[in-house]
Amino acid sequence: MNNFIILSQGIKPIVISFILAVLASSFISDTLGNLLLVVTLFIMFIFRNTKREIKRDGTEILSIIDGTVDAIDKSIETTKVYINVSILDSHILRAPIDAQMISQNHINGLNLNPNSFKATKLNESLDLNFDNINVNLLSGICNNKLDIHSSNVVKGDEIGLFLNGVVTLTFKNKDIKLNINLGDKVKAGQTVIAFKNQG
């Protein structure tokens, strides 16, 4: 687990931006240097390491990411929850339940606006399966490479990074009772998305 205030994935862009700020201030202009310094601080904010107290109740299914519930689609057998992740949200992906996480169907692609029809066909995406819960990560305009591998996970474990895009959770209706509404703000490892049905 990373105990630093900045995620390891952010070190390289932060260092590069800071060096450019110093060089610009020294050889070009203070204005450009100051602008790049602001960019450096913004990158630090994006890659902040947010600490969380994780809910561990066995029946609770937690949010996998911070964001806003943009849509909820219910059919006879399944419910899909769409979470929009902005560049200002915290970007750590956390396991929603204890499970064998299976990473599959990774598609390399573009970084178009994730809310467009073209994005669903052309953007980078990745599926994660947690027992009967399917999670689809659809990359947005500003995103890192989706690099998450299959592993055994405990609820709340950090499993990866997702900077921007749409996260879709698919549940079987017989397995869960939904606990969120359209427009809700959710937090990874804290917000209860749904409860597992017992029996």
| Domain limits, the chain | 8-46, 60-196
- What's residue 140's pLDDT? 84
**Burial zone of 118 (CB within 10 Å; 0-12 exposed, 13-18 middle, 19+ buried):** exposed
CA distance 197 to 173: 9
- What's residue 70's pLDDT? 95
Q: Can you give the pTM of this predicted structure?
A: 0.87
- 58's enclosing H/E stretch is none
Which tokens sit at 110? Answer: 């573009």
- What's residue 107's pLDDT? 86
Instruction: Write out residues in the chain with pLDDT < 70, as ranges.
Output: 1-4, 199
CB 141 within 8 A of CB 83: no
CA distance 127 to 2: 24
CB 193 within 8 A of CB 63: yes
Q: DSSP 3-state assignment of 131?
A: coil
Which tokens sit at 67? Answer: 């964001």
- What's residue 104's pLDDT? 84
Q: DSSP 3-state assignment of 172?
A: strand
Question: How many other C-beta atoms can be found within 10 angstroms of the C-beta atom of residue 74?
Answer: 12
- What's residue 15's pLDDT? 93
Name the β-bridge partners of 168: 82, 136
Q: What is the DSSP string of 24-36?
A: HHHHT-HHHHHHH
- What's residue 199's pLDDT? 59
- What's residue 91's pLDDT? 87
